[in-house]
Amino acid sequence: MNVVMRLEPGTDKQGRPESCGVLELRPGEVTTVAGPTGSGKTRLLADIERLTPGDSPTGRKVVLSGVPDEVLQSGFAVGRISQAMQFFLDLTVREFVKMHAQARGNGDKDPTNEDLAEMVANQANRLAGEPFQVDQPLATLSGGQARALMVADVVLVADAPVLLIDEIENAGIDRHAALEFLIEERRIVLIATHDPLIMLKSDRRLVMAEGGIRHVIDTSDGERAEVERLTRIDREMAVLRDQLRRGGTL
């Protein structure tokens, strides 16, 4: 059975019905959630995270089909990466990955398999600005390294079919590489963002206002045509930013 997430509309802060209609999201699609601070982005992600049956303040209903019942009942069907990431466990990256795999009990995710930790760390290092070692203590990871680790972990170990990310542009990770990884791994991805480039690289954007979904905009061909040019400019700025923060000059 194919995995599908169905989002049925609720109401905004004034009790007015959302005008978005029923939305169906599928693996491999990236949906961005846009809108000013206070517009309802966090509430929408919270509704999706708990697969609300219609009992939240918004009255939305979220149904995830095509996922085994044991995954739904475990509460691990949706993974969320928040803006603040900090570890308090006295473990190395390797020990954390092995412990998580054991806790999940994911068939082929053998917690005794040393390659699993290496795979997660290698993928995380493709996203992180500064690489880390698999035997490095979690407590020594920067915020960006921790977020990169959690993105790789929630996909490769938790195997969550739905992934929610708060403001990936502030994560301290390569957001272009992160998007490519999530698309390749066929997850249903929702990203709350203020970054116009991330919005244009997504399949659609949900525009929030007054606590409700006000518009659903599919990315147009014209917008997609601009992405390559804007990405090139963005990467040039990233190189310059990295050069200057490492002590370089123009």
pLDDT score of 107 more than 50: no
Structure tokens at 207: 């525009």
Distance of CA 227 to CAs 170, 178, 196, 197, 241, Å? 20, 16, 10, 7, 20
pLDDT score of 195 more than 80: yes
Please spell the DSSP secondary structure of 23-40, one letter per residue: EEE-TT-EEEEE-STTSS
Give me the helix-helix angle, 114-127 and 143-156, nearest 10°: 130
In percent, how much of the chain has pLDDT > 90? 48
pLDDT score of 22 more than 50: yes
pLDDT at 111: 47
CA dihedral over 96, 98, 99, 103, signed as positive or negative:
positive
- If one compares 48 and 144, the residue with the highest pLDDT of the two is 48
pLDDT at 55: 95
User: In whole numbers, what is the pLDDT of the chain averaged over residues?
Assistant: 87
What's this model's pTM, rounded to 2 decimal places?
0.84
Per residue in 26-67, pLDDT tens? 999 999 999 999 999 999 999 999 999 999 999 999 999 998
The total of other beta-carbon atoms located within 10 Å of residue 176's CB is 17
CA separation for the pair 79, 118 (Å, rounded)? 21
Of 6-10, 31-35, 51-55, 174-178, the poorest mean pLDDT is in 174-178
- What is the average per-residue pLDDT within 160-183? 82
